[in-house]
Amino acid sequence: MSIFINQDTKVLVQGITGNEGRFHTRQCLSYRTKVVAGVTPGKGGRKMDEVPIYNTVSKAVAATGANCSLIFVPPPFAADAILEAADCGLDLIVAITEGIPVMDMLRVKNLLTGSKSRLIGPNCPGIISPGQSKVGIMPASIHLPGAIGVISRSGTLTYEVVDQLSKQGIGQSTCLGIGGDPVVGTNFIECLAAFADDPATSGIVMVGEIGGTAEEEAARFIRDNLSKPVVGFIAGLTAPPGRRMGHAGAIVSGGSGTAAGKIEVMRECGIQVCENLGEFGVFCSRIFGGNL
């Protein structure tokens, strides 16, 4: 099993005719993801390789039964693209787009409240259930089917962690990047709860970074609700206060959001924290042991 996606997920790509959309759609297709449609206004009736293109999400859903959207729409229009997908009742919306204005995402977050649609992202690498489906931009070759769930705020750190896990023979059930923006659709706790309920996931890796309180909140949720082993990593241990490191949400203000503070809370809540990224795979092999 897996969380959020599987081999039966039917994906439509919003922005399929742009350079990024075309490239990554082909990568998803090569992974045998069921990409059933593309959406670009004004280009309906055409095809991108074997994928039919529609003018609207509603027409694509009606024609193909798509239940998931992968979004490569430029930042000024991405919020409306997310809402269009939600209006059509798609189960999952994965927004890769970086640079969506915070006010746009606040509007989206508010309008998605109570919706059946789950948003992953924006500014994220997407989600992959190895051997089943890939909805995003992550390099498929580094992933290995298995029993460890991976959640991360950082795309590139996700790749590094997954690569080290796979090289140690530690396969993954589902890997997803939730995005590093201040406002995201799905948070750590929602992912942790899904992994907790997934019988195919026996352990969890949580990769965080400086800024905000998401990791501390997740750690307390783990302490109170999870019995599966969790390994954590926090990027930005040497980041100076007031410096934004990469992501819009990764900013330390005063004593809040520091890597050291997050690590302390995580350890207090029973999470095994690795501080040396170069040894992450070996560290996980010791912790997960028989849970692989």
pLDDT number for residue 290: 61
Residue 134 DSSP one-character state: E
Give all strands of the β-sheet with 133-136 in edge-to-edge order.
133-136, 126-129, 172-177, 145-152, 203-209, 230-235, 272-273
What is the pTM assigned to this prediction? 0.93
CA 228 to chain centre: 20
User: Tokens in use for 65?
Assistant: 């039964």
Per-residue pLDDT in tens (0 to 9) along the chain, 292 residues? 689 999 999 999 999 999 999 999 999 999 999 999 999 999 999 999 999 999 999 999 999 999 999 999 999 999 999 999 999 999 999 999 999 999 999 999 999 998 999 999 999 999 999 999 999 999 999 999 999 999 999 888 999 999 999 999 999 999 999 998 989 999 999 999 999 999 999 999 999 988 888 999 999 999 999 999 999 999 877 656 555 555 545 454 455 578 889 999 999 999 999 999 999 999 999 999 865 6
Q: Is 21 left (phi over 0), alpha (psi -120 to 50) or beta?
A: alpha
The CA-atom distances, in angstroms, between 135 and each of 56, 68, 114, 161, 188 are 20, 9, 24, 19, 19
Indicate if 138-292 has the same CATH topology as 1-123.
yes
**Kind and range of the H or E run holding 149:** strand 145-152
Residue extents of the structural domains in the chain:
1-123, 138-292
Give the pLDDT of residue 242: 56
Q: Alpha-carbon distance 134 to 114, whole Å?
A: 26
Of 24, 118, 134, 247, which is the active-site residue?
247
CA distance 260 to 276: 13
State both tokens at 289. 């042991």
| Dihedral sign computed on CA atoms, order 195, 196, 202, 203 | positive
CATH 3.40.30.10, applies to 138-292: no
Q: Return the pLDDT at 250.
A: 47
Structural contact between residues 34 and 8, judged by C-beta atoms closer than 8 angstroms: yes
Q: What CATH number was assigned to the domain covering residues 1-123? A: 3.40.50.720
Whether the CB-CB separation of 119 and 70 falls below 8 Å is answered with no
Is 143 catalytic? The answer is no
**Predicted local distance difference test score (pLDDT) of residue 241:** 59
d(CA 28, CA 133): 8
* pLDDT at position 47: 96
